[in-house]
Amino acid sequence: MKKHIFFASVFVSLALLLIGSFMADEADGSVSKKITFEIAKDYEACEFKITTEKEGDFDVTLHPQNSTETYTGSMEDTNVCTVSVENVKAGRWDVTVTQRVTGETSAENRQEDTEEETDASADAEAEPEAQAEPVDAEELIGKIQVTAKAIDKTAFSIGNVQIARDIVGLQLYFKDDSIVVEWTDTSCGNVKVSVIDSYTDQILDTKTVTDRYYEFLIPELVTEITVDIVPATSSNITGANSRFNIPVVNEPDAVVTYGDKEYVNTDTIPVTVNLSDSYSLLFLVNGEEVKETGILASGEYVYDVPVTEGTNEVLTYVVDADHNMRSTSYTVIRDSIKPALTLDMEYDGITTYDDTITITGTIRDYDTFMINETEPVVAGDGSFKSEYILRDGENVLNVRAADIAGNETLYTAVVTKAVRETTIWDYAWPVGVGLVLIIGIAIRLWRKKKGGSEKREDKPQKPKKEKKDNKEPAQAREKRALKSRVVPLLIGIACCVCSYLFFTRIIMGGWVPSSSMEPTLMVGDYAISNGLAYLNREPQRGDVVVFRHAGAADGKTLIKRIVGIPGDSIMFIDGYVYINGEPVYESYLPQDTETNSFKDFEDIPEGCYFVMGDNRENSEDSRFWDDPYVKRKDIRGKLLSIIPLARLKETVREIFM
């Protein structure tokens, strides 16, 4: 009965650099590399397959360390050789791969040896033992792998032979304060990694790794570690492990700086790196690699690192030539959503006679919220209600909300405050009263004079000689009657003219139609001004004057306060007025009044004046006019007195209602 044949043979990849070494024969210039592996038990026969990383002409020698026997094979322009051995004994075995040297190469080597011997004899006293540069066996032969299978003498396959394994692509480096071990070999199976304190021999960590990556955080006081690495299948084989002594040093000479913003609304953030040596850089955002550089020379570099909506954990690694990595971290939140502003109505385009307008709505997700220069009070649910004082004409309202990331929501509305026209009838009643008084006085005087004449006629008079004709001529009577009618009329006309000139040129009066001079002049007050105030003197800073200006609608007469006189320079800083570089205290204003302007005014021209209303936040004045100055000839008078009719009316209403 025939024996069953087992065709399954599992080839195990080896990189036997564990105890490997190379040998350079100076006699013939050949290069050799030797590795050692271990056979766990005896076999009737084994078929060994030796594979090199490089192709070439190689001689292969297989030699058990406990015997003088050797087994050979060769490679010709290939990298695979098979050697069959009978009566394989347990123990350690050596495999030596030697580069085959041609005659031409040998001759060249002998010539070089002769020249070297001549040079050596000439310099024997100065340098007794000259050493040639080592030949790199790794470049000529590369890594060596050995696989084996056991065979009985009738050529039946028995199974795989356990051999010590190396790990291909093994790399050790620091990642911040952790040691990292990784490899590319997928055939070595599980790997046992141990980290030991080199000075105390204390085992800090040991772990069997399955995914080709190991990382361990080194304790603070440890200054040098020993890393022991061995494939799990070779852990019971003496000498199969690899040991590395590594000083714990990972401080690259580099500085990484980020911006100072916790919140941004941009797609990238700038990262500045100052290198004092050659390094490469690696950028990670939320654990994902977003950018990598090659080796950079020393200097300063700035990179824009992409970020995504929400929280971003940014890591910048500085990597040296040994792949050691040191990171600098930064947390930044990207927020590209604008504040949510909702108004209860559309305010743009509104026209009103009211002095104020109330703006209501809701605001959410904001850091600052302003309506022009006023900060409204916002309730807990986000609702707000703000009253804004209007000045005559167009008022631009900027409702602006911004969040900490820099997103801004802006709503702009133009609200027009209509002003009731001031006509001649606004001055009719004081003028009429004045005329009536003057006419009454004139008539009274005329009647008194006439009455006096009649009384004189009633007195007894001395008898006169009778005239021939006692009758008065008709023409004389008509003349006297006409005179009695014309004289009062002329007196009345003269009184009207005088009254008009008096109340329009000397003592002028008018209603206050707007709030631009509050609290000095309230809407509804009656202001009386002196038209002769500046006959012998110039207007002074602080005077409240009546004037005409091109900035007034329909050529109306305005009333404002003089703030700057000819030669003054006016500036506005932090809500205060500075005249000729000095802050001005304006006692006629409330303490919390702020005066602002988008521009300053230097060297007021001769014969011109700079005026403002006392209600600085709601006054159309020199700050906003195209021609900011009032000319001397356009000033009609100075405020003389105020009849507070509006306030009296309010007081009476409070008393009786």
The whole-number pLDDT of residue 22 equals: 36
CA distance 490 to 481: 15
- 80: which 2 tokens? 């695979």
Please indicate whether residue 276 is annotated as part of the active site: no
Query: Among 33-42, 199-208, 473-482, which is the least confidently predicted range?
Result: 473-482
CATH topology classification for 21-123+135-160 = Jelly Rolls (2.60.120)
Going by pLDDT thresholds of 50, 70 and 90, the confidence category of residue 252 is very high
Instruction: Check if 21-123+135-160 and 254-334 are the same fold.
Output: no
- Average pLDDT score over the chain: 79
* CATH H-level, domain 254-334: superfamily: Immunoglobulins (2.60.40.10)
Q: Considering the chain, what percentage of its residues have pLDDT values greater than 70?
A: 75
Average pLDDT over residues 180-196: 88
Position 303 pLDDT exceeds 50: yes
Q: Does domain 512-652 have CATH number 2.30.30.100?
A: no
Q: Note the pTM of the prediction, 2 decimals.
A: 0.47
CA distance 605 to 182: 83
CA distance 275 to 279: 7
The whole-number pLDDT of residue 232 equals: 83
Of 85 and 237, the one with more pLDDT: 85
Any idea which architecture 340-417 has in CATH? Sandwich (2.60)
Position 657 pLDDT exceeds 90: no
Containing 121, the helix (H) or strand (E) segment is helix 103-122
CA distance 109 to 119: 15
Query: Among 266-275, 423-432, 550-559, which is the least confidently predicted range?
Result: 423-432
Residue 233 half-sphere exposure toward CB, CA atoms < 13 A = 20
Going by pLDDT thresholds of 50, 70 and 90, the confidence category of residue 236 is confident
Query: Among 310-314, 342-346, 497-501, which is the least confidently predicted range?
Result: 497-501
Position 455 pLDDT exceeds 70: no
CATH class of 171-247: mainly beta
The whole-number pLDDT of residue 530 equals: 86
Query: Among 171-185, 211-225, 343-357, 599-613, which is the least confidently predicted range?
Result: 343-357
E strands of 523-575, at which residues?
526-530, 544-548, 557-564, 570-573
Residue 68 half-sphere exposure toward CB, CA atoms < 13 A = 0
The whole-number pLDDT of residue 527 equals: 86
Catalytic-role residue among 143, 149, 560, 638 = 560
Position 5 pLDDT exceeds 70: no
- 12: which 2 tokens? 């195990």
Position 240 pLDDT exceeds 60: yes
Query: Among 360-374, 458-472, 514-528, 605-619, which is the least confidently predicted range?
Result: 458-472
CA distance 610 to 570: 9
Catalytic-role residue among 516, 529, 619, 622 = 516
Going by pLDDT thresholds of 50, 70 and 90, the confidence category of residue 572 is very high
Of 428 and 545, the one with more pLDDT: 545
Radius of gyration of the chain (CA): 56
Query: Among 383-387, 394-398, 448-452, 631-635, which is the least confidently predicted range?
Result: 448-452
CA proximity to 159, closest of 241, 94, 88, 93: 88
Domain boundaries, the chain: 21-123+135-160, 171-247, 254-334, 340-417, 512-652
Instruction: Check: CB of residue 312 under 8 Å from CB of residue 286.
Output: yes
Position 397 pLDDT exceeds 50: yes
Instruction: Check: CB of residue 546 under 8 Å from CB of residue 508.
Output: yes
Going by pLDDT thresholds of 50, 70 and 90, the confidence category of residue 107 is very low
Please indicate whether residue 329 is annotated as part of the active site: no
Instruction: Check: CB of residue 38 under 8 Å from CB of residue 78.
Output: no
Going by pLDDT thresholds of 50, 70 and 90, the confidence category of residue 412 is very high
